[in-house]
Structure 1
Amino acid sequence: DDGAAELAEDLLARMAKEEADFTLTFRELSRLSATDPSGDEPVRRLFADPAAFDGWAESWRARLAAEGRDDDARRREMLATNPAFILRNHLAQEAVDAAVERLDLTPARRLLRVLARPFDDQPGEEELQRPPEAAERVTTTFCGT
């Protein structure tokens, strides 16, 4: 594997330490250039300390250069593997609360519509990508959520 596992483990450790959202990190990583770090800011800002990403990105780019893969093909493959949208617990809870407390199925329908195409960028739905704020974290879930 020529160091691929170690590179992946290093990224995962940095993401955990720096509280980088896994889904957003991998999705944004999919968009980065294999040679030009000028577009790294969307990934960097996901890390509590953006410099933690920079050190890893340098090793990642060196590996990509050694592989010699077509950058556009790599991007397409990564975008097809890393979803733009996932069902986040806080969004599921909001949809359940709206349905039960207000008989409002609008949030649930919106989630269903967006999640039917999880790998597609869907302009106007970016708020469904964001991780929960501290007050929105769902710490207890029940069957079906």
Structure 2
Amino acid sequence: MKKVAFIFTIIAGSAIAAFAQGAAADQSAIKGTPAYAEVLLRKTELQADLEAYAPDYTEANPKMIELRAELASIDKSLDRILATKTAQIGRLTDALGRMMVKKAALEADLVRLSRTYSKEHPDVKRAQRRVDLFESSITDILKQ
């Protein structure tokens, strides 16, 4: 009985290792896509801006809040890209990456407007609609 359990453990361990190796291959394939590169480029730019502004601005400064909001949106986009199935890697185009970067910028703008105006203000509604349009297009591309 112990031999059977031992053999089962070895087989299960091999299956898990093979799955992990496949997942690592999937991650490297995804990280080689134009969409990933585009979004990662913007993340790097935002991080560099945050480091450059940090000595001169507090975290409560509107510029820092806006940069952090955009960075949070970019991080969500990277998570979405990394969650893509291997069969759908072809959808991770440069255009999709640019759409994700634009959506992140629009979300940062929405955060800025929301700090000044109520949700019912026409500018906030317009900004929310633009974010929703980009989100709809991104979802459409990823869910086909």
Class of the TM-score when normalised by the shorter of the 2 chains = under 0.3
- TM-score, with structure 2 as normaliser: 0.28
> Which protein has the bigger helix share?
2
Larger radius of gyration: 2
